[in-house]
Amino acid sequence: MGSPMALNLIKAGCDVIVWNRTKSKCDPLISLGAKYSSSPEEVAANCDVTFAMLADPESAIDVACGKNGAVSGMGPGKGYVDVSTVDVATSKLINEHIKARGALFLEAPVSGSKKPAEDGQLIFLTAGDRSLYELVSPLLDILGKSRFYLGKVGNGAAMKLVVNMIMGSMMASFSEGILLSKKVGLDPSVLVEVVSQGPISAPMYSLKGPSMVKSQYPTAFPLKHQQKDLRLALGLAESVSQSTPIAAAANELYKVAKSYGLSDEDFSAVIEALKAKSQDTA
């Protein structure tokens, strides 16, 4: 996600400095005009605004607050925009560290996948310093098609987790439908078509259904990240004693899929967990 977002900033004429743990992944961006810094600290020291797109809470904290982390390069007049999908506590922790340096913080997780990132069609779910939100809005408009400002730090993370909790459950349910249709002798491709034309249609079903029927899962949103988001959403629900039995059941399926080595496949590969289950009990 970070690569296509950085690429869109470069294409729009922004002065971009990049860092990634695996440096080779920066090479295409460098060849297109980005500069490279050797640590998150150096990026933050050299930029007015630093965007972070990390895998999970652990990496988001490490890259911001760890040794040679971005926090060390922050100071008054600078801003840190974390677009990773993390939990509320992580976002608040990073905010505190950034604030301690006299800089501004905005959490801005994105809804949308690899293709929307490439096409500059992401949806930003932002919260935190309003002045930083105003400052980076022109950049968010390069990267996305819409942006929401949701108030205090944590609200953006919470909104993103609720959205992805719904998405994970929808995909698990769709998977059950595909397999059930096949088992009762229907053509699952026709099911996908019927769903796409009716009241439960969703771009996600139309996009991923045809390849799921063929047992193909080209990665847009890695399954391990969907499971991470369900796990974090369940923690969020727990924190306010909200019952989420559907999401809890879906989370179990993604865990099974991970145990089958499908972590880096697209999250639609969750269907394989159900197939394996059917075979086990056959």
Ligand X SMILES: NC(=O)C1=CN([C@@H]2O[C@H](COP(=O)(O)OP(=O)(O)OC[C@H]3O[C@@H](n4cnc5c(N)ncnc54)[C@H](OP(=O)(O)O)[C@@H]3O)[C@@H](O)[C@H]2O)C=CC1
Catalytic residues: 160
Site for ligand X in 166-225 (CB under 6 A): 220-222, 225
Is the CB of residue 108 less than 8 Å from the CB of residue 125?
Answer: yes
Q: Return the one option of ligand X, ligand O=CC(=O)O, none that residue 129 interacts with (CB less than 5 to 8 A, by type).
A: none
Q: Return the one option of ligand O=CC(=O)O, ligand X, none that residue 281 interacts with (CB less than 5 to 8 A, by type).
A: none
Give the x/- contact pattern for ligand O=CC(=O)O in 86-125, rule: CB under 6 A: -------------------------xxx------------
Contact with ligand O=CC(=O)O (CB under 6 A) among 80, 105, 174, 221: 221
Q: Is 37 in the site for ligand O=CC(=O)O (CB under 6 A)?
A: no
Binding residues (CB under 6 A) for ligand O=CC(=O)O: these are 85, 111-113, 164, 221
Binding residues (CB under 6 A) for ligand X: these are 1-2, 20-22, 25, 53-56, 59, 62-63, 84-85, 110, 113-114, 220-222, 225
